[in-house]
Chain A
Amino acid sequence: MGSMNTSCNWPAAPDSIPALSAQSGPVWRVARSACWLRAPGVLSILLTAVLAACGAKPGGNAASSGDNTVKPPIAQGSSEEFHYDDPCSLLEPKEVEAVFGAPLAIPPFRAGNSRPTADGEDCVYQTADFHQMTLTVEFRDGAQAFRITGFGKKLMSTAPNEAARKALMLDDGTELTGEWDEAQLTALNCCIFNALRGDQMITIDFTGSDATLPQAAALIDAAFKRIDKPLKVDGASAIAAAKVFAATRPAPRNACDVLSRAEVEAVIGPLASEPKPSGTLACSYSLASSPGNLPRIYELNFTWQGGYAAFRSDAHVTKVGIGAMGGAPKAPEDALPKGAAGDPWERAGVESNDFVALKKDVRIKIDQRFTDREKAKALVAAAMRKI
């Protein structure tokens, strides 16, 4: 509230006393919070008229000083008056649900830096199993943001030419068009699509979902069509629900605590030593090696949050890397088959050298090289059952 602070003359805290500094000092912060009361601009407005009308003494008419019974006067109607620049107001939730192929677990909510935030510029859509898409809207200064986003592509020498700016060509040869002047994918990522119209930019990150680029682009197209007349969807109203829902995610734990030693040995055989953890991220299990053979190590790797996106992004990078070396890979983003009924995972399969499984946005993978592949897969399955 700059207009208050600019005219606040509360003195600066002494720099030599950190506890009193503006950054950390509760003392100064409290003082400043009340400072506007004597800020000349505000005070003049409040007080000029005052006392003037009937010459009342200051404070004489204060209705209920120190009266702790005064309850907040809450509005009876909705608060649409303050609903603007809300990234959640550009899409109908059912449009997003159609792309997910599943209902949203909670209403779309505003976020910033991946945290629910009432004034965040992101809108997050999540399903019950934590598949996620994020719509980010730059309601102004979007052109500058778009250039910055495109800078990475220029460095990669894959910047689109003039003709390609408006219509992106998909792998199957179809063109992707929509309500934008320019569009591009973020460099080195499969699934972050940026579109610019005028000075407004909309970005959709669908890495954490199974959505395709055409589906995501269609959402941006719909969002641009509504940007001048947004919906009444209030992304700040679901902040509390988002926090509650986030608490239901599988909690990260020490990687070697997921399975007991006995459970591991039941799958892969007797261990030669105690399991070696790398925090919550990995646990290594070494089997006794016979003379002349390589030691066999099974290492479970965990991604506790963002597992869907991590898999999809890693697969894309692998694809780009293989392509750069002249290879012709299959589309690895589609590589993981859905689990069958009774499987402990949502999707699982072999990706590059790893066996990878996904469930509730958790990814567990194991490097299959120098291991018994069936045992490796069984170890992942045992771990997934604990998620």
Chain B
Amino acid sequence: MRKPGSMRRCAHAGAALLLMATAARAGVVVHMSARDLPNGQAKDSQVFYAQSGMLRIDHLDQQGHVEGIQLIRDGVIWDIDVTKRSFRKLDKQAVAAQMGAMQNKMQGFLQNLPPEQRAALQARMSAMQQRQYSVTDAGRSERVGSYSCEIWQVTRAGKVVTENCVASKGSLKGGDELVGAAHSAAATATDVISAAPQLARGAASTLALYSKMDGFPVLIRDMSGATASREEIVTSIETQSLPADKFAIPRGFNEVNLGAGGDSE
């Protein structure tokens, strides 16, 4: 078992790959539950597994069964549809190809539209691209279970869409491992997203501001105006050695193209 803090915090790509290849390292398992506000019943919603720079996010259905997984490793996001027994590869190349195809189709649609409709749609798309997320420190703190955390607000078009309460990594069990894996995952996500200029533009400012934070959100609150509509909180964090298969695509699952929507039928 690796002792907390023994991993180099600023592992570069080569070191990260080396770490990923190392078996039986200590991993971190984070359980989250979600509930609709104000009176919804809390249910397990997501589980995060982090180890050796790899991150796996399980999305749970109403029964607590895994219905989907994002596996982020090796510079690729593997989007796994457990119910359909299929998976998709999301990397820069795949997203670029899809976006290229999308733009071609969009151009085709635009060319075939009457001028007024075309202008309206172009204006709408342009406005859409102007809307960017921003993240700001709300200057207040909260307590979520045993964690103290600082509130960061994500706003879009001047409206708060979520509040994230970030606990410092030093206060989290396995915080170094968790942050390290999330770091790698975010780098991958950033790289993948860069192939989609529309998405990248929206994320750029968010990324810049996130870089100021040093921790993990133990609470994510969806906002509807000034009212919170849903919240998701960390319910437990455990450290344990995770088997290599935890960060692999289950056997027997079929690969589908990015545009296939996960439907293997």
Which residues in A have some Cβ–Cβ distance to B below 8 Å?
1-4, 6-7, 9, 11, 14, 16-17, 19-20, 26-27, 29-31, 33-35, 37-38, 40-56, 58-68, 70, 72-79, 81-82, 84-85, 115, 117-119, 140, 234, 236-237, 239
CB of B169 within 8 A of CB of A37, answer no
**Neighbour of B261 across the interface among A33, A72, A118, CB < 8 A:** A33
Q: Which residues of A have CB within 8 Å of B11?
A: 61
**Neighbour of B245 across the interface among A49, A67, A75, CB < 8 A:** A75
CB of A62 within 8 A of CB of B188, answer yes
| Least Cβ–Cβ distance between A112 and chain B, in angstroms | 10
CB of B193 within 8 A of CB of A37, answer yes
Assess A52 versus B214: contact at CB under 8 Å? Given A44-B154, A61-B184, A70-B75. yes
| Least Cβ–Cβ distance between B9 and chain A, in angstroms | 5
CB of B251 within 8 A of CB of A63, answer no
CB interface residues, B 94-130, toward A, < 8 Å: 95-96, 98-99, 101-102, 105-106, 109, 113, 117, 120-121, 124, 128
CB of B63 within 8 A of CB of A60, answer no
Q: Which residue of B lies closest to A119 (CB)?
A: B83
| A-side interface mostly | loop
Q: Which residues of B have CB within 8 Å of A27?
A: 102, 105-106, 109
CB interface residues, B 111-166, toward A, < 8 Å: 113, 117, 120-121, 124, 128, 133, 152, 154, 156, 161-162, 164, 166
Q: Give Cα distance in the complex from A9 to B185, angstroms.
A: 21
Q: Give Cα distance in the complex from A3 to B230, angstroms.
A: 11
Q: Which residue of A lies closest to B50 (CB)?
A: A49
Q: Give Cα distance in the complex from A118 to B82, angstroms.
A: 9
CB of A34 within 8 A of CB of B189, answer no
CB of B59 within 8 A of CB of A4, answer yes
CB of B248 within 8 A of CB of A73, answer yes
CB of A17 within 8 A of CB of B121, answer yes
CB of A50 within 8 A of CB of B162, answer no
Return the CB mask of B73-94 against A: 1 if under 8 Å, else 0: 1111010011111110111110
CB of A41 within 8 A of CB of B222, answer yes
**Neighbour of B187 across the interface among A3, A14, A61, A85, CB < 8 A:** A61
CB interface residues, B 43-67, toward A, < 8 Å: 45-46, 48, 55, 57, 59, 63, 65-67
Taking A4-B59, A34-B196, A81-B250 as given, write out 14 further A-B residue pairs in contact, using a Cβ cutoff of 8 Å, ordered by the A residue number. A1-B59, A29-B259, A34-B90, A34-B95, A43-B189, A46-B72, A46-B189, A48-B216, A51-B210, A55-B211, A59-B187, A62-B92, A70-B89, A140-B63
Q: Which residues of A have CB within 8 Å of B186?
A: 46-47, 49-51, 58
Q: Give Cα distance in the complex from A377 to B182, angstroms.
A: 74
